[in-house]
Amino acid sequence: MINNAARRRSSLAALYVSGALALGTLVLSGAQSAHAFPAFAMKEHKPCGYCHINPRGGGKRNANGQWYQKHNFTFAGTGYTRAAAAKAAGVPIADVPVAPGEATTASKPGTKSTAGVPKKSMTTKRGVGQKPNASHKN
């Protein structure tokens, strides 16, 4: 009779321990509840790394991902800019990813962005800063 009671207690203790381990695993896995959904990447035409620290997606979100989550998983109509996402996340704008083909400098509406376009040289045939000579013909 004593052996049966001891076995029952040890079985019950093992059940509690395994239940606690299972619950702990569930709770800890829930802490990383941010998931990358290819549907979001396709919807927004952005790579997973646009919203996630890991370029392959999943896990912790960067400033863009935090903005996206906070605004019901959309950028449209939310006033999103890289600067706004950086400010909301409290990070420098340099830490906010840029999607391929996305402009990194702001320009006035209706003007062409000159980012990456070299400035025209001020050199002329006569040289920089030289006044034209009346006797000099082109």
pLDDT digits (tens, 9 = 90+) for 98-118: 988 887 655 444 444 444 444
Q: What is the pLDDT of residues 7-66, one digit of tens each?
A: 776 766 665 666 555 555 544 544 444 455 788 999 999 999 999 999 998 899 999 999
Angle between the N-to-C axes of helices 63-70 and 82-89, in degrees from 0 to 180, rounded to the nearest 10: 90
Query: Is 60 exceeded by the pLDDT of residue 134?
Result: no
Distance CA 46, CA 101 (A): 10
Model confidence, pTM: 0.51
Angstrom distance (rounded) from CA 98 to CA 120: 27
Q: Check whether 88 has a pLDDT greater than 70.
A: yes
Q: How many CB atoms lie within 10 A of CB 93?
A: 15
